[in-house]
């Protein structure tokens, strides 16, 4: 993941509006040669389109001029130990190498906080931050060290702050409202594709609600499928963490992933016109927690439940949804076709207070085990649930005091409960 924009694998493969010629003749002419005194020649379609292009160009250039100084070029270094497979034959031990990565970020406030992707600053193993992070701002040749303020692997977000950076170089970019986006809106991506720092591309918002796997597990959390903004503005490796702006210059998303058929085969992705950005509202909701994290990890909200269906893999037991089991087996056990089997419900948790119950007995089967007798969550806030990822996708933007409506099945009986998130949900 280091120094790259993540690729969506092949398994997940996923007009302009112009005025008509008749309407153009009815508009106020742009001016020019006159056929008779006081009468202007009607604007031609080519003249009108040229004027529109120039207006769009002026808008883009103005946004770049005002907000590109808020872009940050991020570099990371991490010492890793590599063992040469043939080295042991010659008495050589493990070798220490320095792994380097690059990415993008942007200032979000006058304090100098820089928002970026977690995978941009993550260490070689993907757990925790790289040992050395530096940032460079526009117009400066020298990079300065940066420290981690907060990490949110499940959201693929991180907050860092430059140290010893002159305050006059801190240029926050205003944050917009991603919930108000419409398909077809202008989108401007800023970043450092392939290490070419301070680059700009332009396109449109292609979709506002793509569900894609975005977060990373670890530190007690699970990766989360999130709603993402799809854009055809060129996004390439190195663009990760950079801002996606609208025509007003407001940040509407954080560039994070691309879909690249060539990358799925070669491992080196290139823009195919399908890029994804984390909606800025998700980051705005998380920002206060990141600012108060003290350099630690921030987890997505929890109900206080664990998965009760686990299968054995080469990496140990993995929680899964009911959809992986055969229909016959589920019918024999009186279970629904899809859902999250609850293994344990933590005492005093929001789930426990709402009356949710974990399995009372465990049953082993070839390749795994399942907890029976408790609740199976089949939906949350009206969205189907078939695993922890689905549940977390519903919870991801919730705040303390928010509620989630949970549909469950227990003993063949359907039930709907309301779970209220409290402070323990965010610990």
Rounded mean pLDDT, 417-422:
96
Higher confidence at residue 238 or residue 150?
Answer: 150
Whether residue 19 contacts residue 25, with contact meaning beta carbons closer than 8 Å, is answered with no
Given 3.20.20.80, 3.40.50.11260, 2.40.10.10, 2.70.70.10, which CATH number is that of 174-291? 2.40.10.10
Given the residues 119, 260, 375, 407, select the one marked as catalytic.
119
Rounded mean pLDDT, 93-113:
85
Average pLDDT of every residue of the chain: 82
Whether residue 389 contacts residue 216, with contact meaning beta carbons closer than 8 Å, is answered with no
* Amino acid 95: pLDDT: 67
For the question of residue 119 being annotated catalytic, the response is yes
Given the residues 178, 199, 240, 260, select the one marked as catalytic.
240
Q: In the numeric block, which tokens belong to residue 128?
A: 């925790």
* Amino acid 194: pLDDT: 81
* Amino acid 421: pLDDT: 95
Is the pLDDT confidence value at 27 over 60? no
Domain with CATH 2.30.42.10 in the chain: 305-426
Higher confidence at residue 7 or residue 413?
Answer: 413
Given the residues 75, 104, 113, 156, select the one marked as catalytic.
156
* Amino acid 17: pLDDT: 25
Within 10 A of 96 (CB to CB), how many other CB atoms are there?
A: 9
Length of the chain: 427
Rounded mean pLDDT, 358-383:
93
Higher confidence at residue 284 or residue 85?
Answer: 284
Q: How confident is the model at residue 62 (pLDDT cuts 50, 70, 90)?
A: very high
CA atoms within 13 A on the CB side of 134: 11
Domain with CATH 2.40.10.10 in the chain: 174-291
Give me the percent of the chain exceeding a pLDDT of 70: 79
Higher confidence at residue 292 or residue 4?
Answer: 292
Domain 305-426 bears CATH identifier 2.40.340.10: no
Q: Which residues pair with 362 in a beta bridge?
A: 371
* Amino acid 30: pLDDT: 34
Q: How confident is the model at residue 23 (pLDDT cuts 50, 70, 90)?
A: very low
pLDDT 10s digits, 205-248: 999 978 777 777 655 556 677 788 999 998 888 889 999 999 99
């Amino acid at each position: 993941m280091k120094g790259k924009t993540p690729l969506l694998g092949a398994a997940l493969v996923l007009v302009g509006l112009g005025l008509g010629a008749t309407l153009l003749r009815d508009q106020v002419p742009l001016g020019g040669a006159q056929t008779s005194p006081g009468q202007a020649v009607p604007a031609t379609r080519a003249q009108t389109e040229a004027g529109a292009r120039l207006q769009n160009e002026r808008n883009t250039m103005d946004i770049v001029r005002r907000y590109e100084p808020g872009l940050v070029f991020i570099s990371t270094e991490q010492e890793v130990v590599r063992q040469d497979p043939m080295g042991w034959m010659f008495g050589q031990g493990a070798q220490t190498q320095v792994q380097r990565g690059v990415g993008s970020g942007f200032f979000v406030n006058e304090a100098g906080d820089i928002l970026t992707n977690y995978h941009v600053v993550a260490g070689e193993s993907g757990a925790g931050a790289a040992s050395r992070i530096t940032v460079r701002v526009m117009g400066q040749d020298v990079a300065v060290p940066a420290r981690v303020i907060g990490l949110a692997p499940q959201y693929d977000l991180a907050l860092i702050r430059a140290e010893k950076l002159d305050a006059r170089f801190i240029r926050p970019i205003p944050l917009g409202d991603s919930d108000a986006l419409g398909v077809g809106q202008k989108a401007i991506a800023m970043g450092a594709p392939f290490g070419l720092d301070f680059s700009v591309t332009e396109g449109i918002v292609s979709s506002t609600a793509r569900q894609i796997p975005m977060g990373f597990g670890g530190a007690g959390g699970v990766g989360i499928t999130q709603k993402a903004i799809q854009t055809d503005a060129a996004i390439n490796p190195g663009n990760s963490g950079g801002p996606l702006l609208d025509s007003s210059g407001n940040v509407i998303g954080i560039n994070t992933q691309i879909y690249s058929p060539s990358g799925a085969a070669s491992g080196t992705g290139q823009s195919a016109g399908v890029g994804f950005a984390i909606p800025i509202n998700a980051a705005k909701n998380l920002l206060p927690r990141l600012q108060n994290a003290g350099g630690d990890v921030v987890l997505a909200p929890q109900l206080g439940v664990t998965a009760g269906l686990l299968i054995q893999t080469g990496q140990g037991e993995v929680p899964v949804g009911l959809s992986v089991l055969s229909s016959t087996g589920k019918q024999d056990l009186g279970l629904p076709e899809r859902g999250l089997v609850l293994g344990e419900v933590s005492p005093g948790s929001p789930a426990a207070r709402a009356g949710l119950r974990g399995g009372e007995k465990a049953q082993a089967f070839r390749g795994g085990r399942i907890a029976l007798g408790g609740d199976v969550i089949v939906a949350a806030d009206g969205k189907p649930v078939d695993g922890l990822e689905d549940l977390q996708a519903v919870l991801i933007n919730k705040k303390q005091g928010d509620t989630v409506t949970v549909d469950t099945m227990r003993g063949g009986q359907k039930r709907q409960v309301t779970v209220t998130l409290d402070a323990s949900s965010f610990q």
